[in-house]
Amino acid sequence: MVKSLVSVKRVSSTGQSSGRGRPKAGAGDSDYVHTIGDLAQEFGVTLRTLRFYEDRGLIKPKRQGLTRLYSDASKARLKEIIKATNLGFTLTEIRALLGVDGSAKASPALKLNKTQIAEQLAHLEKQKADIEKAIADLKSMQKLAA
């Protein structure tokens, strides 16, 4: 006997699927359309990263049962969080830059002034110099070891 590889979705009399998938949005939830998996895949981060950002108060998804649902505003905020981490800012700094509220009411855009930009550039330049020195030291050691 051969089992079929096709999965069957059961639909109740209300028309809702009993299978896995995106939860049905309730009244007023039409803005919350992105799941944690959607955002993780789109931004190339792990689910754990998104949960960590939530724990730190950077983003605040709406909960529907155990499912986290994110709005377009939350998605835009996440984009800025990832951009800021790529620029070398700490999560504490990012929280201050974006505003402490992780909800859609807070500004999703990074607000950097000239001083903050200059300080971050100086910090990254120092890190770059430290890394270049470490690389040079290791290359010297490698030559001696050969």
Quick one: residue 130, left, alpha or beta (phi over 0 = left, psi -120 to 50 = alpha)? Answer: alpha
For residue 5, how far is the Cα from the chain centroid?
A: 34
| DSSP for 66-123, written as a single string | TEEEEEHHHHHHHHHHHHHHHTT--HHHHHHHH-S--STTS--S----HHHHHHHHHH
Give CA torsion, residues 94, 98, 101, 103, to 10 deg.
-110
Residue 115 tokens read as 């001083």
Q: DSSP class of residue 62?
A: E
Backbone phi and psi for residue 68, each to the nearest 5 degrees, phi listed first: -90, 130
**Residue 105: pLDDT band by 50, 70, 90 thresholds?**
low
Whole-number pLDDT of residue 106: 55
Least confident piece of the model among 1-5, 83-87, 90-94: 1-5
Between 122 and 104, the higher pLDDT residue: 122
Cβ contact 86:94 at 8 Å: no
Residue boundaries of the structural domains of the chain = 32-112
| CATH number, span 32-112 | 1.10.1660.10
- Region 23-49: mean pLDDT is 81
Q: Which of 124, 58, 61 is nearest to 93 (CA)?
A: 58
